């Protein structure tokens, strides 16, 4: 699980990082010291879990949470127990009262992992897969309050856009309330490749690969360091 810390206290970041380092399946993708930095992080990285402080300058943690249309799993970390009920009303996964022990931290993240596993096993409302993933030719995607049937052969690439994904076709773009990770899981690996935390491309639509970039039509897309190996394997066949 990719996690993000949003807390105005540097010491709180260090404590969470120390505890998370003991768990190989937790991967930090960012640190934010106020809610606005948190917004920026969510628009640039794929986040499964947020450790969210409440009492922060500029914008309070729970007010920040209310602005998110499709928030990732939230674990509140706060020194103020009086906000616990309000937090649970906003469907937070757990509420850690500072200072908290490693055992209490472990309970919270295990709960978050179980929740994510359960959500992954449920077919989402936004995308309806017609057949088994390896054999699908079309998908239904919800955008603009209606479902679009898209042939996979028409997709050029997908781009992460905060809590949404932009699906680029030859003649239009569809904005859907999903994540790139969701599409990475349902699109056939033989036809689509994730090249960046924010991009998935149709292999057939790739025109050129040069250095850390590739070209599809008039669009130049970056290749993330983590995904370079997969692109090299594709090139070498």
Rounded CA-CA distance 128/131 in Å is 9
Rounded CA-CA distance 18/98 in Å is 15
Over residues 101-121, the mean pLDDT reads 84
User: For position 126, what pLDDT does the model report?
Assistant: 43
Report residue 221's pLDDT band, with 50, 70 and 90 as the boundaries.
very high
Which of 81, 104, 120 corresponds to the end of one domain? 120
Which helix H or strand E contains 106, and what residues bound it? Answer: helix 102-120
Q: Is the pLDDT of residue 117 over 80?
A: no
Helix (H, G, I), strand (E, B), or coil: what is residue 176?
strand
CA distances from 64 to 54, 61, 77, 89, 174 (A): 9, 5, 14, 14, 27
Helix (H, G, I), strand (E, B), or coil: what is residue 111?
helix
Instruction: Report which of 116, 22, 34 is spatially closest to residue 5, judged by C-alpha positions.
Output: 34
Which helix H or strand E contains 234, and what residues bound it? Answer: helix 228-236
Q: What is the CATH number of the domain that holds 42?
A: 3.40.50.2300
Which of 69, 87, 120 corresponds to the end of one domain? 120
Residues 59 and 16 in one domain: yes
Residues 11 and 109 in one domain: yes
Residues 58 and 116 in one domain: yes
Residues 165 and 87 in one domain: no
Contacts of 77 (CB under 8 A, 6+ apart): 7, 12, 16, 51, 52, 53, 96, 98, 100
Query: What's the number of domains the chain is made of?
Result: 2
| Structural domain span for residue 69 | 2-120
Asked if 55 contacts 78 with a C-beta cutoff of 8 angstroms, the reply is: yes
Regarding pTM above 0.85, the answer is: no
Helix (H, G, I), strand (E, B), or coil: what is residue 22?
coil
State the average pLDDT for the chain.
88
**Per-residue pLDDT tens over the stretch 128-186:** 443 445 556 888 888 888 889 899 999 999 999 988 999 999 899 999 998 898 899 88
């Amino acid at each position: 699980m990719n996690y993000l810390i949003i807390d105005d206290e540097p010491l709180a970041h260090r404590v969470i990082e120390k505890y998370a380092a003991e768990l190989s399946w937790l991967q930090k993708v960012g640190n934010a010291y106020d809610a606005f930095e948190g917004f920026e992080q969510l628009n640039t990285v794929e986040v499964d879990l947020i450790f969210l402080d409440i009492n922060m300058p500029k914008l309070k943690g729970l007010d920040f949470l209310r602005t998110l249309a499709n928030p990732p799993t939230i674990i509140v970390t706060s020194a103020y127990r009086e906000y616990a009920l309000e937090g649970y009303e906003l469907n937070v996964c757990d509420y850690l009262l500072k200072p908290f022990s490693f055992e209490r931290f472990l309970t919270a993240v295990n709960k978050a992992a179980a929740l994510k596993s359960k959500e992954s096993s449920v077919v989402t409302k936004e995308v309806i897969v017609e057949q088994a993933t390896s054999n699908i030719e079309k998908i239904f995607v919800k955008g603009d309050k209606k479902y679009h049937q898209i042939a996979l052969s028409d997709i050029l690439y997908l781009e992460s856009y905060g809590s949404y994904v932009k699906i680029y076709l030859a003649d239009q773009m569809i904005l859907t309330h999903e994540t790139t990770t969701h599409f990475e899981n349902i699109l056939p690996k033989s036809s689509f490749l994730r090249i960046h935390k924010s991009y998935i491309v149709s292999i057939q639509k790739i025109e050129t690969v040069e250095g850390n970039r590739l070209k599809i039509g008039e669009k130049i897309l970056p290749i993330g360091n983590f995904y370079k190996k997969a692109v090299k394997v594709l090139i070498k066949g």
